[in-house]
Amino acid sequence: MASERDKAKSAITRTDSTDPELAAALAEGKQEQYRITVENNRHKEAIQAGELGRMGQWLGGEKMAPIVIAAIVVVAGLLGAFLSGYMASTSQRPDAADYWYRMVQTSLALSASALSFIFGRTGRR
């Protein structure tokens, strides 16, 4: 046996699916909430794009930029090592070959340093 108060509460919270006006109002409310969410997200993206600038869009935000730059240095160092190794192997003079072998060592040291920066940086997160 439900009291009058309980019946009134259940009547307030109960939705009648046969009421077309209520269904239309709920659907319109959901659409409006969706439009507001889309506009808020678009606004946040516009603000973030303005704060980052061109270089920031390419390299990432302030948290990712050092890691991306270090990855570029790793790739450049490895390419430099391969190019220096090729130049050393095709060199005709012994002193030039020694120079290119030192460049291979320097390029690999640069890549290893940048790689250790990447792994040391990601471990601190």
- pLDDT for the residue 40: 93
- pLDDT for the residue 27: 87
E strand segments, the chain: none
Q: How far apart are CA 59 and CA 68, in angstroms?
A: 6
Q: How far apart are CA 89 and CA 103, in angstroms?
A: 13
Angle, CA of 62, 65 and 69, to the nearest 5°: 160
C-alpha to C-alpha distances, 56 to 74, 82, 125, nearest whole angstrom = 20, 30, 20
* Domain extent listing, the chain: 15-59, 62-125
- Is pTM beyond 0.75? Reply is no
What's the pLDDT tens digit per position in 77-114? 999 999 999 998 888 888 888 999 999 999 999 999 99
